[in-house]
Each structure stands twice: as structure tokens, then as C-alpha cells.
Amino acid sequence: MIPPTPLGMPDEDGSGEIARTDLSTPAVGRLSLYYRELHRLLDSGQTSTNSRDLAAMVNVSAAVVRRDLSSIGSVGRRGVGYDVESLANHIGAVLGSGVHWKAVMIGVGYLGNALLRYRGFERLGFSLAAAFDTDPAKIHQVVGSTKILPMDQLETVLREVKPELAILTVPSEQAKEVADKIVGLGIQGILNFAPTTLRVSSAVAVINVDLASELQQLAFRIQNG
């Protein structure tokens, strides 16, 4: 197993063994789930695990786990398996969780409110530096540990704080305009909850989460199960 580089930062020596760029989106999603389960094991004091147990936790086959982990250079030892902490650190390094990512949220409606209170983000190294809304009644409230600021401070704060990520929880009609604005201010990735597909510069990473679409996919599976 390749030891994680100091501070969990991606290595920059060009070996390509830590920071992989050729992982598929589903593989990255699974790594993220292994990472979550490994941290649960760590919290419970467990020090070693194996591909079969990890597979059961994430609902994939043990072969998929072994392939995913070997693709990032982690090979379990026969009869011993994987060291939980080393593996967690290694996956964390690949996923960039050792990096301290700064995020801002635009639009603090009910969903934004719920996401600001969600502790799962901080655990993964994301800090929500600020949230923005147009509603005067919400301005200067602190939700979770994030202060809500007026939209007219967006530019100043983004130039100062330099967040990499934005969580977009505005109505669909405003999503495009807000996205263009924050991309212009240096945002590199957007997690978009507005039920519209964002089209921004290809240099910007966008993940669209459409909750109604998820429910629709579930219904499709039931209907055709």
C-alpha cells in the first residue's frame, strides 16, 4: 500500500500514484463511499478490514472493491486485508479530502438551510465560508456555523475568501445568472440543486443534483422491476 503523502495532499512528483485523473465518475463515487465507511470503522475503533466487508458496506461486489482500490495503488494483504487508517488516508488523498476546500452557498431557502446544518461536509474537509441570500430577514443570521450575507457582498467576499466551490440552492430562474457571476469571480466547481442543467465554461466542474429526478428514477425501477 502506498503511504499517503504528508498532510494528505496529492503528490506532485508526477508519479501519478496518488492523484489519479483517469478514474471514472462511478469509481470516484464508490471511493467516496469506501472513505465514508472507513471513517465509520475508525470511529468504532476497528483497525483492519477486507474487500468482502467493504463490499457489503457499500453494496457492490468484493471484486469491484479490489479493482477500485488497486486502481489507486492500494492492494490488500492476503489474510490480513487493509489497514483501515492507512486506506482511509490514501483514499482521502486521492479524493482531495486532505485539501481544505472552501465553499460558499448561494440561496438559503429551506434546502440551503438544511445543507448549512449538515455536518457531513465539514468531516470531509469542506468549510462553508459564507452563505448569501437576498431576503433581508435572513441577512446576518448564523445557520450551522455559517453567516448569511447580502447578495451585494458576494463579489467582495468571493474576491477576499477565494472559495473553490459553490453550492447553488437558488430557484431555477436565477441559477444561470448566479452561476455566470460566480464563475466570473473564480469559482471552480458548482454543486447545483436548482432543477435546471447549468451550462458554464467547460473549465468549471458542475454536479447537478435533481431530487425530483432521483424519485422519478426510483419509480421507474419499481415499475420495471
Q: Is 49 in the site for a copy of itself (CB under 8 A)?
A: no
Please report how close the Cβ of residue 170 comes to a copy of itself at its closest, in angstroms.
14
**CA 103, CA 112: separation in Å to the nearest integer?**
13
User: Among 72, 84, 94, 149, which residue sits at the site for a copy of itself (rule: CB under 8 A)?
Assistant: 94
Chain positions 171 to 200 lying near a copy of itself, rule: CB under 8 A, are 188-191, 195-199
Q: Is 114 in the site for a copy of itself (CB under 8 A)?
A: yes
Sheet of strand 146-150, all strands in order from the earlier edge strand to the far edge: 142-143, 146-150, 126-133, 101-106, 165-168, 189-192, 205-208
103-128 burial string, b = 16+ CB within 10 Å, else e?
Answer: bbbbbbeebbbebbeeeebeeeebeb
Q: Is 5 in the site for a copy of itself (CB under 8 A)?
A: no
Query: Residue 41: how many CB atoms within 10 A of its CB?
Result: 19
Binding-site residue ranges for NAD(+) = 107-112
User: Among 12, 13, 25, 152, which residue sits at the site for a copy of itself (rule: CB under 8 A)?
Assistant: 25
Q: What torsion do the CA atoms of 91, 94, 97, 102 make, to the nearest 10 degrees?
A: -160
Residue ranges binding a copy of itself (CB under 8 A) = 10, 19-21, 23, 25, 28-29, 32-33, 35-37, 40, 56-59, 94-97, 99, 101, 103, 109-111, 113-115, 117-118, 120-121, 123-124, 126, 164-165, 167, 188-191, 195-199, 203, 205, 207, 209-225
